[in-house]
Each structure stands twice: as structure tokens, then as C-alpha cells.
Amino acid sequence: MTKKAWISLVAVLLGLAIIFAGCSKKEEKQESSQQEMKQSTQAAATPIDPNTVATISGAVKFDGTAPKAQKIDMSQDPACKGTNETETVEVDGGKLANVFVYVKDGLGDRTFAPPKEAATIDQNGCKYHPHVLGVMAGQPVTITNSDNTTHNIHPSPKDNREWNESQPPKGAPLSKDFARQEVFVPVKCNQHPWMKMYIGVVKNPFFAVTDKSGKYELKGLPPGTYTIAAVHEKFGEKDTQVTVGPKDSKTADFTFNASGAPAGGQ
């Protein structure tokens, strides 16, 4: 074999070695994420006196004319038979759905163990259900495919491990988690480009996602002063400060309008 042929062969083998090194890197990242999850579950949850807990609740409203839902063309996959309108902006009677509301600040050094119960995402009608999901860092997320077509689930986080997996029709559920707080993690399907959802990952259990009523409720808060954030994928984030005493029940409403900036993670 000539010298040049040897050099070419070595170059190709090096290229392959880089690829396999990349594969093992992904496994190392996965290991690291699992270790972080273990550590967060093993950290002692700070006890809260149930006799003093307070509640913050309210509604998220939309001011002005809401953009109309856009039509989706699902014809590229005959197996897709869902409702063909976008869920980006859902306004009903001036109330805004799919807003992620959470305690952004005020809990100090308190730590909270993530629940063992998994949150669920279902792919049905070639859409993700729910459109916005709230989970705790380290909480398992079970992903199911109820459609008669293959989907792929591709979260694109900034602070968490990125992954991309396909799921065959009625395939075995996937179980994943997000180790670090991040609001929002956008998720998309590369098979069906209209399929999008957002996951709010937080370190505490005080979060909610508004439904069509626009209402939210954060229960079990220890007395204190909190920054409550309401985040919408298109209209951005609104924050407010609320102070609650023992057994208090306070209201904090949010109002979005069409001029808001998109939320982080896009």
C-alpha cells in the first residue's frame, strides 16, 4: 500500500474514532444527568409547617384582540387526524391559557425533593398533550405515543441535556427527566414540524399551568415574600411580588397583551 493510501486510511479511521468518541460523550452526559438527579432526590427536603402554609392564586388575562389560531396542514402524514389549529395563543373570554406560573424567587435555601410520580406527555392527533407542562428538576417525565405514526421528541434546552428520540406507533413509553431549572425548554417533532410544546422545569413544587379559565393556584407556600412569574411562549414573562403571612390567601393577576416578547428558550 502506498504512503498516501496509508495516510488516507488513517484519516478515515480517525474520523470514525471521532464519531464513536462522540457517542461515548453522549453516554457520559447521560450518566452525569442521572447522577445529578440522584443527588437532588437524596438531598433532604426542608420541612414546611403545614399549619402556616399560604396560597397565592389568580388569573392570567389577555388584553386586546388575540391573534387568531393558525391553520395547520397535516397532509404530509395521512395518519395525522388531529385538530388542525395552533395552540400558541388560546384566549377564551379574555383569559389566557397555557401560561406557566411559578415561584421564581423567595424560597431562599429551601430544597424540595422531586416527586417520584411521573408527569406525562402524550402524542395524540399529531399534537403534544399538554401543550405546556410544568415539572420539577429531576422529576420523571413519561412520554407516550397514542398515534398510528412515528413521532420524534426533540427537546432543545440550553441548560439541560439535549436529546432526540423517535417513538413508533403505540410504542413503549419513554422516561426522561431534566436535571436543571429551565423555563422554557422547547420541544419539537422533526417528523411533524407543527408539533411543538414547552416544558417549564423548576426546583420547587410551586407551579401551575393555566387552562382555558386562565386560573392558577399555588398552595402550600411557607410565609414569606415571593416573586411570582407568569411565562407565555409568545408574550414573554411578567413578574409580581407577593407577601403572604401564615395561612394567608392572596390574589395576584397577570395581564398580557400582543406586544410582549417571546419567552426564553425559543
Partner 1 sequence: MTQAPPYNPAHHRFLVFAACVTLLLIVAGALVTSNDAGLAVPDWPTSFGSLYRIPPMVGGVKFEHGHRMLAELVGFLTIIIALWTWRAERRSWMRKLGFIALGTVIAQGILGGITVLYYLPAPISSAHATLAQTFFCILVSMTLVTSRTWMQTTPQSVEDRRSPRLRTLAVLSVASVYVQLVLGAAFRHSGMKLLPHLISAVVVTVLLLWTTTRALMNYSAIPQIRRPALAVLSLLLLQLSLGFGSYLTRVVWSKDAPQPMISMVVVTVAHVAIGAVLLASTLVLALQSFRHTSPAAEPAMAHATGTGKAVMV
- List of residues contacting partner 1 (CB under 8 A): 8, 11-12, 15-16, 18-19, 22-23, 26, 67, 70, 72-73, 76-79, 86, 88, 149-150, 152, 154, 156, 162, 164-166, 188-194, 196
Alpha-carbon distance 114 to 41, whole Å?
Answer: 6
Nearest to partner 1 of 48, 69 (CB atom): 69
| CB 29 to partner 1: min, Å | 11
- AA letter at 173: P
What CA–CA distances, in Å, run from 217 to 54, 90, 116, 199?
A: 11, 19, 22, 18
Nearest to partner 1 of 78, 108 (CB atom): 78
Nearest to partner 1 of 162, 217 (CB atom): 162
Nearest to partner 1 of 190, 213 (CB atom): 190
Longest CA–CA separation in the chain, Å: 83
| CB 258 to partner 1: min, Å | 11
Q: What is the 3-state secondary structure (H, E, C) of 62-122?
A: EECCCCCCCECCCCCCCCCCCCCECCCCCEECCEECCCEEEEEECCCCCCCCCCCCCEEEE
Please give the helix or strand (H or E) that residue 36 lies within, else none: helix 3-42
Alpha-carbon distance 226 to 121, whole Å?
Answer: 29
| CB 199 to partner 1: min, Å | 17
Nearest to partner 1 of 72, 228 (CB atom): 72
Alpha-carbon distance 135 to 185, whole Å?
Answer: 11
Please give the helix or strand (H or E) that residue 264 lies within, else none: none
| CB 164 to partner 1: min, Å | 5
Nearest to partner 1 of 20, 50 (CB atom): 20
| CB 180 to partner 1: min, Å | 17
| CB 47 to partner 1: min, Å | 41
Q: By C-alpha distance, which of 251, 254, 210 is closest to 236?
A: 254
